[in-house]
């Protein structure tokens, strides 16, 4: 399988990514037991298909270690030069507290060691408590490590528009913010996307397929109980569906998506991913990979051949008009974590 050129995006002048990123939250638990050897084999299959960009974090169980093992496997079988095709974006999610130089340097050193790299491609920073403004201390020290060559680019995850503006206005260069964005959760369109477009910041989106709930397999099914939801992702995004409008309205959304999907000869998930990928400021969508358990390489590839027209978009508007405004229910991007 060869992905088209449209699958690539110039994320920064020196870094090109695949616009469907492989999400590794699924290896952190609650999604089935991960066998490391089988996981690395699956990573190789994704990579060879053109899905070369990985999203992970320091707290996603063995995710950083799996990147390290994958890199060693690729280098051993194809040579060190092959490593240049991998883009691995990790996160640092510290507990709020003093952000001394030692604290920041040690955290970055752990990620570099686990992933087997001298320089992190992208470090995405998360902060739990906006009332503790030491997040600026952490970001300034991360910027120093970027200057020292230990981090290639600095980014954020789950920051709201107000704090993103504070950071940008402080002179800290940020290339992206990772936020939840889907046909159910369209909060980034309210404020975040416009701000990012104006400041040259892009969005990486997660939750786009609602943990697999955005698919044919859930169309026409009665509302699931918690025990019917096989993963913690499905449990999480079922809560989001409830806040948005409930299961009956979600069934209306799936039915509308099914008609669009049939028109284009793709699945519902491809329509959902493409819709978000085409939104302003979006650089790429993150699709979770249950490595060694369930792969969706062919289905993910169909996102790139799909072109949604005005009629497709209009077909979804009647459903959106019935949903709740999650900016009012939850708040801005990331507010559900605070």
pLDDT tens for 140-158 read 999 999 999 999 999 999 9
Residue 1: pLDDT band (50, 70, 90) is: low
pLDDT, tens digit (0-9, with 9 covering 90-100), for 219-273: 999 999 999 998 999 999 999 999 999 999 999 999 999 999 999 999 999 999 9
CATH number at residue 313: 3.20.20.100
Residue 32 has pLDDT above 80, yes or no: no
**Per the domain annotation, does 2 fall within a domain?**
no
User: Rounded to two decimals, what is the model's pTM?
Assistant: 0.96
Yes or no: say if 18 and 50 are a contact pair by the CB < 8 Å rule: yes
Instruction: State how far the Cα of 112 lies from the Cα of 96, in Å rounded to an integer.
Output: 22
* Cα–Cα distance list, 134 to 76, 141, 166, 263, 310 (Å): 42, 11, 13, 51, 45
Tell me the average pLDDT of the chain: 96
Q: Which residues pair with 180 in a beta bridge?
A: 206
**Per the domain annotation, does 1 fall within a domain?**
no
Q: Which of 25-29, 237-241, 306-310 has the lowest mean pLDDT?
A: 25-29
**Per the domain annotation, does 12 fall within a domain?**
yes
Domain of residue 230, residue span: 7-337
Q: Which residues pair with 284 in a beta bridge?
A: 204
Q: Residue 110 has which token pair?
A: 């752990």
Q: Which pLDDT score is estimated for 291?
A: 84
Q: Which pLDDT score is estimated for 293?
A: 76
pLDDT, tens digit (0-9, with 9 covering 90-100), for 48-104: 999 999 999 999 999 999 999 999 999 999 999 999 999 999 999 999 999 999 999
Residue 296 has pLDDT above 90, yes or no: no
Between 294 and 144, where is the model more confident?
Answer: 144
Please count the structural domains in the chain. 1
């Amino acid at each position: 399988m060869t992905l088209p050129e449209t699958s690539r995006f110039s994320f920064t002048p020196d870094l090109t990514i695949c616009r469907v990123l492989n999400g590794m939250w699924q290896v952190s638990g609650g999604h089935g037991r991960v066998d490391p050897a089988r996981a690395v084999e699956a990573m190789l299959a994704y990579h060879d298909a053109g899905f070369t960009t990985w999203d992970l974090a320091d707290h996603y169980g063995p995710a950083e270690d799996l990147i390290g093992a994958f890199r060693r496997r690729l280098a051993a079988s194809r040579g060190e030069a092959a490593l240049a095709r991998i883009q691995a974006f990790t996160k640092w999610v510290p507990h709020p507290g003093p952000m001394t130089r030692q604290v920041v340097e040690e955290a970055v050193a752990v990620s570099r060691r686990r992933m087997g790299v001298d320089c992190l491609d992208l470090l995405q920073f998360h902060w739990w408590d906006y009332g503790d403004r030491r997040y600026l201390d952490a970001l300034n020290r991360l910027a120093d490590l970027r200057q020292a060559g230990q981090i290639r680019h600095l980014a954020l995850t789950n920051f709201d528009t107000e704090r993103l503006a504070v950071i940008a206005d402080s002179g800290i260069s940020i290339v992206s913010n990772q936020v939840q964005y889907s046909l159910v959760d369209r909060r980034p369109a309210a404020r975040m996307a416009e701000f990012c477009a104006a400041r040259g910041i892009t969005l990486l989106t997660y939750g786009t397929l609602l943990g697999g709930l955005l698919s044919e397999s859930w169309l026409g099914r009665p509302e699931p109980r918690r025990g019917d939801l096989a993963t913690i992702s499905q449990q999480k995004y079922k809560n989001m569906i409830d806040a948005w409008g409930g299961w009956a309205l979600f069934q209306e959304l799936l039915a509308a998506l099914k008609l669009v999907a049939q028109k284009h000869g793709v699945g519902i998930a491809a329509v959902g991913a493409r819709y978000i990928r085409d939104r302003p400021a979006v650089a790429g969508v993150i699709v979770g990979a249950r490595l060694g358990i369930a792969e969706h390489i062919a289905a993910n590839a169909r996102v790139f051949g799909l072109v949604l027209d005005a009629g497709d978009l209009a077909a979804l508007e009647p459903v959106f008009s019935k949903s709740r405004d999650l900016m009012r229910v939850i708040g801005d991007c990331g507010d559900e974590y605070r």
